[in-house]
Structure 1
């Protein structure tokens, strides 16, 4: 509980410091109150920092006081943020100041009400501080303090990879009772020699029944080895008891080696115990929205700090990676082991003031997720009198179901899950701050429910992905603190987002690829670019560019934009403005997705994404670009991707890449994932030449009939995914597969037959014996190959 409270106060102190800097805009008396609150909260934070370091359990008095501090920190943050919002500067210059006068006068009553709340808050903060002294809540004795733990770098480096490989090799080589000798010898700071006997003693207690526990312990010692000899001796002593729960004691030890912020992030996973899989990006953004992630030097943006935390929890063994992603660089999704889930549930409950219950913010997240996962009750047919009345006034062929109010739909007498959601939101205390609302996958999400959700002004994260929401209410602009809005895979009309203005929005996610049944063509459905966006946008994908230069000029001013995805007409003017926008973002852009539709203008047939074709002076490619996704008819490979050392993932559609273009791709040293979708190649075959694709791990090819690999090509290629309609395997279908020395898996999608056993022979002759996913049909296929 000290960890959670310390994080809440940390977040508040940053806001207070920012508010004090704007002293010229503070009403009389408010500045002194805010300074007093800041000083008091700093003192409380110092005390909390001591509590997070102590080895002794917190008594009821301490826990009660910590709960009061955490509650008041949340209340204070909301009040200060509202006050700062109403004091937004008018801009520069005399005219801006004059224009701001009506706003200033109009908001004066609200500003004075907030000033009164700040004055009342000052009294409450003083009372909480005095209450600690009145009830004898004291600073822990220095002898009981643990060593300070700081956030680790959480990045996958070669040394860590070597250690993990040694750990797995020890397990597999020495099963069923491994000694982990190689991994123990790799422990830093001389632990193998200094505390070797203690580690061996713990090893004997863990094996053979608790191999995973021993692996988790060794990971913790590798990640944070400082001051562990005494702790290892204490752990060994606990394990010698006949009734000791080995898995629990080892997990408690490893949990203790996490920093305050990492513990908070781990506890937050209690909200996902019922999930089959957990999206990495969604989890990280929720951590950031909840204020659980700590800032660290050089980390911009905060999501990078969240990624560090995720990577560290994976390395420590608390999170199990499920989908490593195509490049192998980032995990796409993860899951929780049952034992870890039970552990963090017990830890979270033990740190809450109410025995046997989760902390309030975790409990509400669990309740919300249960509501979202419920299936809505079947709707009754429309009452005949309502239907007949509508049909009289509106011809049946023109009747739109939106003409009927949501509330008239009968639901069989059962309460709709979203009604329960609205009731839950209304029951929350005014001072409670709900930061995250994840409605992903929810059905029956009507506009009236969204209007109620838009009354929760504290929201920072709102996910409507994969819901059946059909409209966005204008009240969504009330969510002025919103940082993430996810409306991917919905049918929200394009125009609904034009008038959205969310000044603090960092992540705007929209759109979906539409594939027609039995048709190879694809289209992209998304919403239009908002006419107003804040200056802190980091992710904007995908939006439709409907106003050409105006929209692209607005995007070009987003100096923190890391990921951009746009859908636009492929006219020469649009491409020219797009390249200019990319130039403006060349220092910050890491992911670029461009979905270009054919232009109707004469003379635009030969336009490509090459800067020389669009006559753009001083074009500068994005130097930090890691991912590139292009759909552009007959555009080929942009020549400016040469020299982009960080480019690791490329997806192409309808680009008609020539053999020369393939050579350009093959020269990219950092390329790890290549997806060649429908229409991406001019030929019906692909050749991997010697010396090309030196670091490629994953290759996806679509509608190609022949793959040829020369000796020395793609030496690190591990997986090929091959998609086609129908194909008969011949000796030339996949020639030189034995030259792909690292190949582990061949995944086939489509109807195929191998009457001559050529595929089986090729796999049998490969040193890795790669697996084949996909079952061949038993009869000879008719029709043209790879139709």
Structure 2
């Protein structure tokens, strides 16, 4: 990670040199010198870090480079802090005060000059002690990769419980009747068994018989393409039974490709490319593999989803190798530890906890099982110690080195900015589902995200997140209804590896208990469970980030300075989400460099006017607090990008006033950097001001009046970047006058309208990028489906009191992309018809409180992709017609895996499956009901 620290610092040094800062004489030259030396060192840091564990002297040198980078970052931040403080004193002051600003900053410039002189001396010492690494370059990196491929092949078929099914699926893909050359990529996380599965398929006698010409190639890198092709030529000649031409050793890649193509042209062949890391690796090799319509196949293993999809784009099918299910994982675990015998009862609980940390990863289960197999079975304490100190066990056990190497390889191959992003996940508690947008905003505040032309920092950060997902380093925990990622997490075992690296690199300190070993300097601090885990005298604080999770302490008298002495003045990130906090901590105002402040899910009620001093603030997250008014001074925060202030009551989602926003009587148009503004209460002046916020991506408006409509329409036309728009009227019978938008934002993806519509806004039909449309209390007399059915990307549609008509007709070919449909309280609805071909991809249907809908919707049988139907508080005539025994319309839904009916009783929803619905009347206790079944309510946005 030293290369990450150095690369991050080099970016800051470049900014310092570019800024018009009046540095003292000679300082600029010293900064240039430091920058030059660190650039020289960066070239060998990645290789050095890969070797440092085996060389204590090398490890000390890498640590020295990292410490110098941190010292230089401290000096720059201290300098910036002094400039910010002096600038604030001169802000809006007289011309005289601004003139003497330079005099007041003299001390700051003198201090940084002194710091840089000291750092320059350290850099020179490090440069003199720079190690000479023979053979530096790619060979050692890639030999490490090949070693890991060999480690993966150590898994025997007997070790892979559950391999039979994926093996058969792969063989079926190899044997299908497709005549063209098909590519079958196997992708998934390192250690999941990709190489082993491919090898088992490759060695299967039936496969060898069908593909007489075959070869297995370990992919290295594109610069070694000639060697890869020579290896393939040699293997093919061995299979054919002829010696390879002597001149092969001298051939260049073009000639080698031509030779391979000629060898394969008239044959049905199988080529396996194992461990492909870059698209160009595949692009280079595929040109040598002819498509001669003889049913040839290429298998390819990779950890990266984008490579898998790219390689099989022309003809083929990707194969995502997933983790072992719980039962199969347990069988494999017991097989390795107890030689196929059952687990002793007194060890089962601790064994299942250890197994959970393996997360269904075969390589991990086999490796951990091999270690535990040597432990005595009488002493349960020894097993519990492994469970408690899982990370230490991985670090200190030679028997787990191969597993650690395989899992570490994905991390070691990351570019420096992605390494920092992945290491940052170590600050979150284990088993914690991390919110997608929270993570992105934190990364930006930390400075991990590099600007790219034509993209916002948020869009760049989102691409980082997608790349980590594609590399199988993150897993999606929860998605939104329209397919976007909502939360994510790391695999438990990979998390342990990353935590070890974060600890070793002093990237972050996790105060989870009182027995942790504190580093000399703490730069990022995550406090988990209680503030009592803080040990004041253990470390020196140079905090950039402070986050707290699951605190049980009262924060009534919370003090950051008391928590970490005077080491918080350079704080960039302060995340107190979910903390037991009732009053805004006023000392926050002194944190001049703060970029991210979250008080989400606290009981804070007000924000002081002095918040205007936080001139660097980019994110202010007050969601689910009791803040209802923001001070006028908030508009002084010119860099604020995300202003999130709202609270909603999900238990009464169908009530009009279930969401609360905030008031602000200020010229909000001055906040030119705003991208997200939710949820602000409307007034005439505000509607006009909104037109100045051309960077807005998400806008939420509460308490809108009909007379505000014209001004809002004019402003919306200027918001060309808008992706999400939510408008709620002041009362449910107030008309939302937003019909006159001649140039709607074409990138709009989400639209939420709550309030009366005198007619359907026709501009909505032009929004081809819409994926979610939620309408509430519209009370339309015209059928809204006519205007929505042709939207090509609409995935989620929900209505609540939207339509007063008696029939809804979903026409053939309409709603081509719809996945979720919710209909609530359409009181006049008596008939619903779905034509064949309508909503072909619908997966979830929710109908509730439509009291006049007494007959089962016609055409449900056409919705062949439906996974679940939920009927809430619907007439008995409808639900009785769906009973498996005697229900006349059961045949319409018998293809749906889950059909539920629910009724409100005794203060809660009783939920029944169709199978138990018939027992409801006879079971007065509600015993057959699934009261705790989790069903997503409508309108949870």
TM-score between both structures, scaled by the size of structure 2: 0.62
Aligned to 2:814: 692
CA deviations over 1:490-518 (Å, ceiling 9, x no partner): 11132446645322211111113357869
Cα gap change, 1:599/1:772 in structure 2, threshold over 3 Å: closer, same or farther? Answer: closer
Q: How does 1:179-578 map to 2 (within 5 A)?
A: 186=183, 199=195, 221=275, 224=278, 243=399, 247-298=403-454, 300-328=455-483, 330-352=484-506, 364-367=524-527, 369-371=528-530, 416-417=554-555, 419=557, 422-423=560-561, 425-429=563-567, 433-447=570-584, 450-496=585-631, 499=634, 501-514=636-649, 520-529=655-664, 530-531=666-667, 533-546=670-683, 548-549=684-685, 551-572=686-707, 574-578=708-712
Asked if structure 2 preserves the Cα contact closer than 8 Å seen for 1:729 and 1:755, the reply is no
Q: What displacement does 1:81 show?
A: 6.6
Aligned to 2:730: 597
In 2, Cα distance between equivalents of 1:41 and 1:64: 16
Q: 1:56 aligns with which of 39, 51, 54?
A: 51
Aligned to 2:739: 610
Q: SS of the residue aligned with 2:612? A: helix
CA deviations over 1:590-623 (Å, ceiling 9, x no partner): 22122222599xxxx7662111xxxx7xx31111
In 1, Cα distance between equivalents of 2:768 and 2:756: 26
Asked if structure 2 preserves the Cα contact closer than 8 Å seen for 1:349 and 1:358, the reply is no
Q: What displacement does 1:563 show?
A: 1.4
Q: SS of the residue aligned with 1:133? A: helix
Q: How does 1:658-737 map to 2 (within 5 A)?
A: 658-676=781-799, 678-683=800-805, 686-704=808-826, 707-724=832-849, 730=854, 732-737=855-860
In 2, Cα distance between equivalents of 1:458 and 1:279: 24
In 2, Cα distance between equivalents of 1:61 and 1:594: 58
RMSD, aligned CA: 4.5
Cα gap change, 1:750/1:38 in structure 2, threshold over 3 Å: closer, same or farther? Answer: farther
Aligned to 1:382: none
Asked if structure 1 preserves the Cα contact closer than 8 Å seen for 2:673 and 2:693, the reply is yes
Aligned to 1:771: 898
Cα gap change, 1:362/1:738 in structure 2, threshold over 3 Å: closer, same or farther? Answer: farther
Asked if structure 2 preserves the Cα contact closer than 8 Å seen for 1:515 and 1:521, the reply is no
Cα gap change, 1:540/1:433 in structure 2, threshold over 3 Å: closer, same or farther? Answer: same
Structure 1 unmatched ranges of 5 or more: 149-169, 192-196, 208-216, 375-413, 782-787
Cα gap change, 1:44/1:518 in structure 2, threshold over 3 Å: closer, same or farther? Answer: closer
CA deviations over 1:562-611 (Å, ceiling 9, x no partner): 11222243233x2111111111112x2122122222599xxxx7662111
Q: What displacement does 1:279 show?
A: 0.9
Cα gap change, 1:260/1:642 in structure 2, threshold over 3 Å: closer, same or farther? Answer: same
Q: What displacement does 1:519 show?
A: 7.3
Asked if structure 2 preserves the Cα contact closer than 8 Å seen for 1:147 and 1:227, the reply is no
Aligned to 2:773: 650
Q: SS of the residue aligned with 1:289? A: helix
CA deviations over 1:671-714 (Å, ceiling 9, x no partner): 111122x3222236533222211111111221236543121111
CA deviations over 1:447-485 (Å, ceiling 9, x no partner): 3xx112333333211111111111112332222211110
Q: What displacement does 1:370 show?
A: 3.4
CA deviations over 1:150-185 (Å, ceiling 9, x no partner): xxxxxxxxxxxxxxxxxxxx9999427668568997
Q: SS of the residue aligned with 2:880? A: coil
Q: What displacement does 1:117 show?
A: 2.6
Q: SS of the residue aligned with 1:675? A: strand
**Aligned length in residues:** 666
Cα gap change, 1:644/1:171 in structure 2, threshold over 3 Å: closer, same or farther? Answer: farther
Aligned to 2:83: 83
Structure 2 unmatched ranges of 5 or more: 53-57, 143-159, 175-181, 188-192, 204-219, 221-271, 285-300, 303-362, 371-397, 510-515, 534-551, 902-910, 924-941
In 1, Cα distance between equivalents of 2:173 and 2:495: 27
Cα gap change, 1:80/1:340 in structure 2, threshold over 3 Å: closer, same or farther? Answer: same
TM-score between both structures, scaled by the size of structure 1: 0.73
Aligned to 2:882: 758
In 2, Cα distance between equivalents of 1:719 and 1:41: 57
In 2, Cα distance between equivalents of 1:665 and 1:451: 49
Asked if structure 2 preserves the Cα contact closer than 8 Å seen for 1:541 and 1:566, the reply is yes
Q: What displacement does 1:147 show?
A: 7.5
In 2, Cα distance between equivalents of 1:205 and 1:362: 50
Q: What displacement does 1:52 show?
A: 2.8
Asked if structure 1 preserves the Cα contact closer than 8 Å seen for 2:68 and 2:119, the reply is no
CA deviations over 1:75-127 (Å, ceiling 9, x no partner): 31452475378669x99xxxx9xx86144046344322322233223313322
CA deviations over 1:316-339 (Å, ceiling 9, x no partner): 3322212111111x1111233322
In 1, Cα distance between equivalents of 2:832 and 2:667: 47
Asked if structure 1 preserves the Cα contact closer than 8 Å seen for 2:508 and 2:526, the reply is no
Q: What displacement does 1:286 show?
A: 0.8
Cα gap change, 1:466/1:137 in structure 2, threshold over 3 Å: closer, same or farther? Answer: same
Asked if structure 1 preserves the Cα contact closer than 8 Å seen for 2:440 and 2:458, the reply is yes
Q: SS of the residue aligned with 1:741? A: coil
In 1, Cα distance between equivalents of 2:699 and 2:25: 40
Cα gap change, 1:527/1:756 in structure 2, threshold over 3 Å: closer, same or farther? Answer: closer
Structure 2 residue 36 is the aligned partner of structure 1 residue 16: no
Q: What displacement does 1:558 show?
A: 2.5
